[in-house]
Amino acid sequence: KNQVEQSPQSLIILEGKNCTLQCNYTVSPFSNLRWYKQDTGRGPVSLTIMTFSENTKSNGRYTATLDADTKQSSLHITASQLSDSASYICVVSALNNNDMRFGAGTRLTVKP
Amino acid sequence: DAGITQSPRHKVTETGTPVTLRCHQTENHRYMYWYRQDPGHGLRLIHYSYGVKDTDKGEVSDGYSVSRSKTEDFLLTLESATSSQTSVYFCAISESRRGGQETQYFGPGTRLLVL
């Protein structure tokens, strides 16, 4: 079982709508959690990073939240645009080694 | 793609053939990584390098070898390609060790098909 589980696997929304993507993890001890955006045919690009003491982080229309007690994170996208169509990947790092665990991603499609 | 190029971008090869993928960076970052990405799986680390001639295995290193003779270049070799190595391969770089708060920057990927 993957130590980082993302849901849903895929999501279709209309342009202008909001959406929330979920990430649950079991990686321990926790160091930090990142959200990456990966456009089709491109490499992932970092959106946000949160450490244990941070429970929210924004990057424009992207807002990530973290609940380290329940080991859950979410990525909220506000007023979606066609360019938000991409895969969103949650990555969790462990504190005591160099391990990074990648979720399988959520494929978001924004339709006009 | 943060000054990272990968070559080739696409390759089709036959089972049993050796294959070398190249990653080149212009950022002078110390750490370089090779990942593979497969449907339904997260990115998985194959090998990484923490300096010239300094490399270590990742979680899926079997069947792969790497070399780093210059700071800017990191090569991934499949000694004898198998169909299970059909995948998209990403190179990444970072200034400090992976897992820390330093961002990893990814290249554009190489799509490899082993027939």
Pick from A31, A41, A103: which is nearest to B42 by CB? Answer: A103
**Is A2 within 8 Å of B42 when comparing Cβ atoms?**
yes
> pLDDT of A52-107, one tens digit each?
889 999 999 999 999 999 999 999 999 999 999 999 999 999 887 668 899 999 99
Task: Check A43 against B108: CB less than 8 A apart.
Answer: yes
Distance from CA of B78 to the nearest CA of A (A): 21
How many other β-carbons are positioned within 10 Å of the β-carbon of residue A81?
Answer: 11
**pLDDT, mean over chain B:** 93
Closest alpha carbon within chain A to B44: A102
Question: CA–CA separation, B102 vs B98, rounded Å?
Answer: 7
Q: Which residues, 6+ apart, have CB-to-CB distance to A84 below 8 Å?
A: A61, A77, A108, A110
- For the record, the structure tokens of A88 come out as 């969103």
Q: Degrees (nearest 5) of the Cα angle A19, A23, A29? A: 150
Chain A residues inside the 8 Å CB shell of B97: 98
Name the nearest CA neighbour of A47 among A17, A14, A23: A23
Q: Which of B4, B42, B104 sits opposite A101 (nearest CB)?
A: B42
For B7-23, write each residue's pLDDT tens digit. 999 999 999 999 999 99
